[in-house]
Amino acid sequence: MRIAIISDIHSNMQAMEMALQVIDQCRVDQVFCLGDIVGYGANPNECVELVRSRCTQIVRGNHDLAAVDLSHAKHLPPHGQIAAKWTFAQLSDENRRFLAWLPFRRVIDDCTLVHANPGNVLSWAYVNSLEIAVCQFPHFTTPLCLIGHTHVPSVCGENLHGSTLVKGMKFLINVGSVGQPRDGNPQLSFGLLDTNEWTYENIRTEYDVDGAAEAIVAAGLPRSLALRLSQGT
């Protein structure tokens, strides 16, 4: 089975549409989504509807939580709070209900899916160092745990062995962000897993960054949220 794994779309319709175009060329069997469908960008409803129509397994991110329950927005950075309030007002009732029902953790065959970390799903703690990564392995029983949240793609093997998948060894895979990459590379990021070949690849592709940035400004959202897209920060 070939599975595309997307995460952290953040209401960036331009990036999401391009990701799905590339995913179609990859002839995948399924698309998994690791959450943060909304927040920061200008097209929350469009992105929720694309995820609803294309993704077979979906977990909820902290921005998806804040966009339907603003009491959780206080945990976001200042511009994230502004975007959460804006998103809350924009979402259709149907899309809000959809986000509100999403689970925080899913286990499907070889994969555990969570947004931030498997150790304490609702802590939203970042896995952004090897020390933190190594502590996550006791918290999932499948060969693979798929995460997002940091917006920085990475592959970490159990006991910090390399980044090429090996049968019989557990791996923690961060698929990066479709809609707001933060590793200095503005190209959208997603993961491509082949469970027959037991291979994983991080895919990076250019998309209409200017279009997404212009939409953010036109929506009246903070300009820094538009600027960071071209910087990959």
What residues make contact with Zn ion under the rule CB under 5 A?
8, 36
State residue 111 phi and psi, 5-degree precision: -120, 135
Cα torsion 106, 111, 113, 117 to 10°: value is 120
Q: Give the C-alpha separation, 178 to 166, whole Å.
A: 26
- The residue with its CB nearest to Zn ion is 36
Decide: residue 19, CB within 10 A, 0-12 exposed, 13-18 middle, 19+ buried: buried
- Considering beta carbons, is residue 8 or 170 the nearer one to Zn ion? 8
Nearest one of 223, 231, 230, 232 to 79, comparing CA atoms: 223
Pairing of strands 171-174, 144-147: parallel
In b/e form, how buried is each residue of 7-16, taking b as 16+ CB within 10 angstroms?
bbbbbbbbbb
Instruction: Find tokens 């990701």 and name the residue.
Output: 19
Q: Is 64 left (phi over 0), alpha (psi -120 to 50) or beta?
A: alpha
CB of 183: closest distance to Zn ion in angstroms?
Answer: 13
CB of 1: closest distance to Zn ion in angstroms?
Answer: 26
CB of 126: closest distance to Zn ion in angstroms?
Answer: 10
CB of 91: closest distance to Zn ion in angstroms?
Answer: 17
CB of 160: closest distance to Zn ion in angstroms?
Answer: 25
- Considering beta carbons, is residue 80 or 157 the nearer one to Zn ion? 80
CB of 151: closest distance to Zn ion in angstroms?
Answer: 6
- Considering beta carbons, is residue 143 or 148 the nearer one to Zn ion? 148
- Considering beta carbons, is residue 2 or 85 the nearer one to Zn ion? 85
CB of 182: closest distance to Zn ion in angstroms?
Answer: 9
Q: Where are the alpha helices (DSSP H) in 148-222?
A: 209-218
Give the Å distances, CA to CA, from 40 to 44, 215, 217.
Answer: 9, 11, 11
Q: Is 168 left (phi over 0), alpha (psi -120 to 50) or beta?
A: left
- Considering beta carbons, is residue 23 or 34 the nearer one to Zn ion? 34
- Considering beta carbons, is residue 119 or 198 the nearer one to Zn ion? 119
- Considering beta carbons, is residue 8 or 136 the nearer one to Zn ion? 8
